[in-house]
Structure formats: structure tokens, C-alpha cells
Amino acid sequence: MRFAILFFALHWLTIAAPRLNLAAVTAMEKSFNRRLEREVLDGDPFLLLGLTRGIYIEGFGIVYSAEVNLAQGPGISPFHPEVTKDDVARLRQKKMARLPLLRNAMKQQLLDMAGSLDGLPAEQQIVLGVTLFRHSWEDTTGLPHQVVMQAQKRQLLEIQTGRRDRAQLDAVVRVQEF
């Protein structure tokens, strides 16, 4: 008898628990694409290489990934036959200037995702990873190839709703750069 009650209680909880739906996942994909184009890439959609994709992993959380070119490099043409040292330096400087913008946009997106992904359990993780495009001739000193940010939904919601000070965002979000 106890087993039957436990079985039905667990079954009811599975039915009653909110589920993460595809529409919410897709909305956050589009939201991050727009944020990248608006806040980081100066409105240039060609620097967003492919669209953001979200994958839900049961028991863990949701992982979003995107690939971005922080700045357009010089093209080779009959009028510009080679990439010069000045070209390389300018491109590196522009990418270095946009890197903090990318980090800020990613943190804000994590907060927005926490508030919008209602079906994601509060104890699960939200992960946002961005791969940065590089040319083979670039000077990538000090530039990561990937930026990955991860936080628990509950902690992000506490900051978003003001129950926790926004200054604690850096302590809540785990940042890895490779």
C-alpha cells in the first residue's frame, strides 16, 4: 500500500511540475542573438556566426552556445594584397575593447534567462558559452577562445528580484575562459 501511495505521489509530482518548453528555450536563443548584435557587435549581424542554440540536460540545467567574431578583420583584395602588422594590431585592439562588453552582455543574459525560464527548476544550472572566432594570422595574446559562464537559477533569481545585491553577481556566476 505504501508503495502504491508513493508511486502515485511521485507520478503526480512529475505531472504537476512545470516543464521547460521549447518556446521558452527558443525565445532565449533569439534574445541572446539580439543582445549580442545590439550591445557587443555594433549591430553587425555578420559577426554572429551561426545562431545561439540551447540544450536542456535533465537533472543539470540548460546550456546555450554561440559563436561570435568580435570584430571584422581586413580582407585580402587586389587593393589590399596582404595583412599588415597595423591591421593585426587594430583588429586585436578592437577585439580587446569588445571583450568586456561581451562579458557584461553574457551576465545580463544569464539574469534574463533565470527570470524567463519558468519551467527550469531553481536548483538547476544555466550555462552560457561563447566561442570566439579567430583568423590564423591574428595576435590572440590575452584573448580567450571561449568564454563560459554558469550559475544556479535560484541565485540568479535572487539577484534579479533584489533579494540579493547585484554586486554579488560576480560571486554567483562562475566564469571560465579558455
Region 139-152: mean pLDDT is 97
pLDDT beyond 80 at 10: no
Place of cell 552582455: 105
> Crossing angle for the helix pair 22-35 and 85-116, nearest 10 degrees?
150
DSSP string, 102-116: HHHHHHHHHHHHHHH
Mean per-residue pLDDT of the chain: 91
Q: How far does Cα 135 stand from its chain's mean position? A: 22
How far is 144 from 146, CA to CA, in rounded Å? Answer: 5
How far is 89 from 110, CA to CA, in rounded Å? Answer: 32
How far is 68 from 49, CA to CA, in rounded Å? Answer: 5
pLDDT beyond 60 at 4: no
92-141 pLDDT tens trace: 999 999 999 999 999 999 999 999 999 999 999 999 999 999 999 999 99
Distances (CA, A) of 23 to 29, 50, 144: 10, 19, 32
The more confidently predicted of residues 43 and 151 is 151
Q: Kindly state the percentage of the chain with pLDDT values over 90.
A: 80
Residue 81's contacts (CB-CB under 8 Å, 6 or more residues apart) are none
Q: What is the pLDDT of residue 2?
A: 55
Is pTM, for the whole model, over 0.85? Answer: yes
